[in-house]
Amino acid sequence: MKKIYGVIGDPIEHSLSPIMHNAAFRQLGMECEYHAFRVTLENVASAILGAKALGFGGLNVTIPLKEMVLDVVDADPLAKKIGAVNTIDFKDGIIGYNTDGVGAKHALEKHGIDVADKRVLLLGSGGAARAIAFQLAKDGATLIIANRTVPRAAKLAQEVRSIGDAIGTGLDELAMLIKKVDILVNSTSVGMRPRMDETLVTADLMHPSLVVFDIVYNPIETRLLREAKKAGAPTVDGVDMLVHQGAESFKIWMGRDAPIDVMEAAVRCALKC
């Protein structure tokens, strides 16, 4: 009998997690299947408890449920600090983790980028931003968190200062801030399909030594990344983070490394084909 895994969220039709994880299962000859399940906010507790009762191996969690599931799972310390869960494991109860931050870290490392002692401008203060902020601060980066709503950025920065160096600000000073940083990370949905012509930063604001990382993965090459290439700046796309956070979930569930190259190829094919 196949072990079932899945991702819950609302909406969920856009998720590439089933393509990514099923490619991994096939590559390793595992008797497992991964599916996407639309779950509304009011049904999240029932869905998680039902999955546990039905013998699921684990779940991923996407928007808008990442914060809600904290009331249902036994979250590990990092997920508690972040305030969001994106991975649930059922082996020893209902344990919640957050792999978004480490996924971002490994995406940068794949391109030879070490964030220690680097100045990072993080755009956004939502669930993904929180995970990235805590991870990069833990790894020694100095963070500037810029958000449309300044109090949200300030609040996140205050929380992050429990483990590292961070300040919060608005978006009106981006031109000045970008000149002072080594890495720019877009953790907002700006530039995501279907609004692919949008960007918060254009080439005229960038410098060639700036690393530009956009966690948006659909399209693979966002306008932000096109602007970065125009400025001669190195880029990291959102597929890298998607795959590496998924690989961390796989490792939590299976206790073994995931075939990352296979997972990445499946996602890139799905987006280009």
**3, exposed or middle or buried, with CB in 10 Å at 0-12, 13-18, 19+?**
middle
Question: How many C-beta atoms lie closer than 10 Å to residue 177's C-beta?
Answer: 18
Task: Put residue 124 in one of left, alpha, beta given phi > 0 → left and psi -120 to 50 → alpha.
Answer: left
β-bridge pairing 87-89 and 95-97? antiparallel
Residue 192 structure tokens: 């995501």
Residue type, 210: L
Residue with tokens 């998680």: 48
Residue with tokens 């949200």: 152
CB burial string 96-128: b at 16+ within 10 A, e below? bbbbbbbbbbbbbeeeebebeebebbbbbbbbb
Concerning whether 66 is annotated as a catalytic residue, the answer is yes
Choosing from 66, 81, 105, 118, the catalytic residue is 66
Catalytic amino acids? Answer: 66
